[in-house]
Amino acid sequence: MPIRELYLDLTTDPLPIAVRNFLEAADTRCDEFFDTGANKKLPRFLPADYTVVYRALKALQDEGDLLGNRFCEWGSGLGTATCLASLLDFEAYGIEIESELVKRARALADEHDLPAQFLETSFLPEGFDFLYTQGARQLLAPHNALQGGYQYDDADWEIDDIDLFYVYPWPEEQESNLELFEALATDGAYMICFYGPGDVCFYQKV
């Protein structure tokens, strides 16, 4: 099934107090991660603009066309976006392979009494991989990819049960992440991609 891009306006209204307070706390934790040099072991980690991420989540939620309430972030880092989804009452899961980031994300969620869950595993299910090519990464998928039934370690749901995906991909992974979404998501599911400052895009598998 193909995917289509949607165009949604993001509100410029002031953030709710609870969201503002959470983002201030998350920024403090992110600053500590960099200031103490903990990031040196994970040099490719970069935070997104989470005010924009929150507004993107809210815009799609307000559209009222989501199939359900399950959210999944591919590469959840310090957990900020997944926690924001939890603040919006999504059943929110973050997928992150780096144990140090998972530990910090869980601490952030616990600090704010959020039920967001973080799974320490690759967001590429078994049988999938990215092939490194010059300037890009190509998705390698098993021949039976469209049959579904893929599941992450420690998850009691399958990937095609996800209603909304979110990812902040590296430039060379942008196309392959969309291909992965097309291969794994159920028809009607959405994806939000944050590509950089002022650049957030919405997609739906149709």
Give the residue-averaged pLDDT of 63-74: 94
Taking the domains of the chain in order of start, what are their residue ranges?
3-205
Residue 5 pLDDT exceeds 80: yes
Give the residue-averaged pLDDT of 102-119: 98
* List of residues 6+ apart from 189 with CB closer than 8 A: 67, 160, 162, 163, 164, 165, 181, 204, 205
Lowest mean pLDDT among 138-147, 150-159, 189-198: 138-147
Burial class (CB in 10 A: 0-12, 13-18, 19+), 97: middle
pLDDT of amino acid 147:
64
pLDDT-based confidence at 145, cuts 50/70/90? low
CA dist., res. 77 & res. 104, Å (int): 9
- Grouping H, G, I as helix, E, B as strand and the rest as coil, residue 53 is helix
pLDDT of amino acid 153:
87
CA dist., res. 140 & res. 115, Å (int): 33
The pair phi, psi for residue 62, each rounded to 5°, is -70, -20
pLDDT of amino acid 96:
97
pLDDT of amino acid 1:
58
- Select from 3.40.50.150, 1.25.40.10, 3.40.605.10, 3.40.50.720 the CATH code of 3-205: 3.40.50.150
pLDDT of amino acid 134:
72
Q: What would the pLDDT profile of 126-139 be if each residue is shown by its tens digit?
A: 889 988 877 778 88
Give the residue-averaged pLDDT of 105-109: 98
